């Protein structure tokens, strides 16, 4: 109970750690409770002139228990408001990894949502159109009297493209579909593909569609032309697996993001082996390379998968995913070369190390205008006392190097401790170079080795390195008066983790 009270107090204080990094970037790591009582989760995040909007699902106090919502945050990560589409029935955007699409020819967004139950007889798939601020412009039913999801929607060449799963009532088997509409969501083309489950899609300039998901428990990629004809398919070169996402990158390449495993259920006594997995295909279906990442904890069926990513430059891309190992649940973010070589990995969480069960799942990661990246998804804790829930919307903003604390790329440690964001304070700050650091780590915090202070300038030059022993609370005087004016970052670590850090400004 005391832990829950502490978490709630932290939420009330916004759980907001915002620091201005070099090049003016802002970073934060926040969880958003649904104050209407119940869970919240983010599916897609987009930057706006005023900050960020998250498309997700939340409990709302109406006639049903789940509604689609758009949540607004400031540029510093401060919560602004929730708006609900609010149809009188169960709602969901339907997709897992980023089901929303920007509309290139207009300032707005398009997605699909499905509704069912809620006292109405028909299950319906809707197209939902939003303006640039996330306000709903219109919704239109496009599949009625069916059990259908829109896992992914893409706007390109003045058309909207949908893919997902569709049941077709009692006479047509449950199958994947591809659909194209005009800009008012009038259906122009619809085709079923019963051999697969479709979870994501990419579309090229010719209108050809690449459906990604799985077929017979194996990751599966299907290319169809603009009229629905099947051109080729490619299966994962692994025993079993799944693709959660596919993106067109580097002109004519297809980046598939997901997982693989050797068994659906392992024999008694054998460990689970879910493994994070990427593969790059050419647009004619030829496998270019594959990458296997972290494995899940061996004691149960848990998360080990890539979920989303984007091309960051002409030669690199970012991919994110979720990993659960024993008492170590994280969102992981990688930067890769176009050839699949890992350049760095960052591990993040919001509610971390609570139990062996609770995941930290990123469902969307997007580039930001300042050169950084923003992520949304879900973060879990153990707070189930009304009006709160253990499933919370997660929003995290990182700088261009994937750092929550600026300069993390210089420390040489990937793992970061959580809940210690305010354990290091600097005063005066800004200063003329003479600064006091106040370190207040929790009494009895397990440490590996001794504490180390490192201070870096904005170019990554190490200007201070000081051994601090094992004392959890201490004041550390710094003399940076011989250093030029600018931005600096201070980091406290032990032998394994970055424990806390802060920004320093020299005038």
pLDDT tens for each residue of 76-107: 999 999 888 866 677 888 888 999 999 999 99
For the chain, the domain total comes to 1
Q: In Å, what is the CA distance from 108 to each residue of 51, 101, 119, 331, 370? A: 15, 9, 32, 28, 20
pLDDT at 173: 66
Determine the structural domain holding residue 447 and report its residue range: 424-506
Structure confidence by residue, pLDDT tens digits, 107-144: 999 999 988 765 555 678 999 999 999 999 999 999 88
What sign does the CA torsion over 51, 111, 349, 455 have?
A: negative
pLDDT at 347: 86
- The token pair that represents 205 in the structure block: 């300039």
* Euclidean distance between CA atoms 265 and 137, whole angstroms: 46
Question: Do residues 159 and 178 lie in contact, with contact meaning Cβ atoms separated by under 8 Å?
Answer: no
Q: What is the CA radius of gyration of the chain?
A: 24
pLDDT at 23: 39
What are the residue ranges in the chain where pLDDT is below 50?
Answer: 1-23
Residue at 501 is within a domain: yes
Q: In Å, what is the CA distance from 233 to each residue of 224, 240, 254, 281? A: 9, 16, 13, 11
Contacts of 430 (CB under 8 A, 6+ apart): 505, 506, 507
Cis peptide before 412 (omega within 30 of 0): no
pLDDT at 22: 35
pLDDT at 62: 58
Q: In Å, what is the CA distance from 45 to each residue of 93, 109, 249, 436? A: 13, 11, 20, 38
Residue at 472 is within a domain: yes
* Euclidean distance between CA atoms 299 and 484, whole angstroms: 53
**Please, which residues bridge with residue 28 across strands?**
397
Residue at 289 is within a domain: no
Residue at 158 is within a domain: no
- The token pair that represents 138 in the structure block: 């219109």
Residue at 434 is within a domain: yes
* Euclidean distance between CA atoms 232 and 242, whole angstroms: 18
pLDDT at 490: 92
Which run of H or E residues covers position 6?
Answer: helix 2-12
pLDDT at 2: 30
pLDDT at 10: 31
Residue at 489 is within a domain: yes
CATH number at residue 464: 2.60.40.10
Residue at 467 is within a domain: yes
Residue at 439 is within a domain: yes
Cis peptide before 194 (omega within 30 of 0): no
Question: Do residues 283 and 204 lie in contact, with contact meaning Cβ atoms separated by under 8 Å?
Answer: yes
């Amino acid at each position: 109970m005391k832990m829950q009270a502490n978490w709630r107090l932290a939420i009330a204080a916004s759980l907001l750690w915002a620091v201005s990094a070099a090049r003016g970037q802002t970073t934060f790591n926040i969880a958003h409770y649904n104050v209407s009582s119940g869970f919240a989760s983010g599916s897609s995040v987009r930057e706006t002139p005023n900050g960020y909007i998250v498309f997700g699902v939340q409990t709302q106090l109406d006639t049903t228990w789940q509604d689609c919502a758009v949540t607004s945050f400031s540029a510093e990560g401060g919560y602004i408001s929730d708006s609900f589409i609010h149809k009188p029935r169960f709602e969901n955007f339907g997709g897992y990894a980023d089901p929303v699409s920007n509309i290139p020819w207009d300032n707005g967004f398009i997605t699909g949502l499905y509704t069912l139950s809620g006292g109405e007889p028909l299950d319906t798939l809707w197209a939902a159109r939003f303006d640039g601020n996330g306000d709903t412009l219109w919704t239109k039913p496009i599949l009625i009297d069916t059990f259908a999801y829109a896992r992914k929607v893409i706007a390109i060449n003045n058309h909207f493209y949908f893919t997902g799963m569709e049941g077709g009532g009692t006479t047509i088997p449950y199958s994947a579909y591809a659909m194209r509409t005009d800009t008012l969501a009038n259906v122009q083309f619809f085709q079923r593909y019963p051999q697969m489950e479709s979870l994501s899609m990419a579309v090229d300039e010719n209108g050809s569609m690449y459906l990604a998901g799985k077929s017979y428990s194996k990751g599966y990629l299907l290319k169809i032309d603009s009229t629905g004809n099947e051109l080729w398919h490619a299966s994962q070169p692994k025993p079993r697996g799944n693709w959660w996402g596919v993106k067109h990158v580097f002109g004519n390449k297809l980046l598939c993001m997901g997982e693989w495993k050797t068994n659906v259920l392992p024999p008694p006594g054998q460990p689970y082996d879910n493994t994070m997995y990427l593969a790059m295909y050419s647009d004619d279906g030829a496998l270019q390379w594959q990458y296997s990442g972290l494995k899940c904890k061996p004691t149960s069926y848990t998360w080990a998968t890539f979920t989303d990513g984007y091309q960051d430059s002409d030669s690199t891309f970012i991919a994110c995913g979720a990993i659960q190992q024993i008492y170590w649940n994280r969102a992981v973010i990688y930067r890769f070369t176009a050839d699949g070589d890992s350049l760095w990995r960052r591990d993040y969480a919001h509610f971390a190390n609570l139990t062996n069960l609770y995941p930290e799942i990123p469902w969307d990661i997007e580039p930001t205008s300042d050169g950084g990246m923003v992520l949304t998804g879900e973060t879990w804790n153990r707070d189930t006392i009304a009006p709160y829930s253990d499933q919370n919307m997660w929003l995290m903003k990182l700088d261009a190097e994937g750092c929550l604390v600026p300069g993390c790329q210089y420390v040489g440690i990937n793992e970061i401790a959580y809940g210690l964001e305010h354990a290091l304070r600097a005063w005066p700050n800004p200063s003329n170079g003479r600064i006091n650091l106040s370190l207040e780590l929790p009494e009895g915090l397990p440490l590996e080795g001794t504490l180390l202070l490192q201070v870096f300038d904005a170019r990554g030059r190490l200007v201070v390195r000081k051994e601090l022993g094992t004392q959890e609370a201490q004041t550390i005087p710094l003399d940076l008066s011989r250093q030029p004016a600018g931005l600096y970052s201070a980091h406290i670590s032990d032998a394994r983790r970055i424990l806390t850090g802060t920004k320093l400004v020299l005038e």
